[in-house]
Structure 1
Amino acid sequence: MKKIIAWLKESHRLSHIGCGFIIGILSDDNYCAALAGFGVASALELKDKLHGSNGTGLIGR
């Protein structure tokens, strides 16, 4: 559990998940909420990776 919490604290991942959650709440059904939440969180992770984050993104290392 400590590894998961440490991983979430890296590179603003909690805020990315939070943004995805906010977008998901505004959706009209569960499928749209899950898809939008995952899409927003993934896009923010990709943005960090492409703009020279600390290299711990989900896409490559």
Structure 2
Amino acid sequence: MNSKQMKKWLEQQGATFQPGKGSHLKVFLNGKQSSLPMHGTAELGKGLEAAIRRQLGL
């Protein structure tokens, strides 16, 4: 899954986004926060995907 696909999936879960530093987005869901790197079509690592989900309680 690349960052664009992950952002779309997070939007479907009800997440909101704010610009972060550089090419990252701050992701907010149910009072929890994570950071999503927006590095074009580069695939996100499985560990990073899992960490973002865990940090947001998904």
- With normalisation by structure 1, the TM-score equals 0.29
User: Comparing both chains, which one has the higher relative contact order based on Cα–Cα distances under 8 Å and sequence gaps of 6 or more?
Assistant: 2
- The structure that is helix-richer by fraction is 1
- The structure that is strand-richer by fraction is 2
Larger Rg: 1
- With normalisation by structure 2, the TM-score equals 0.30
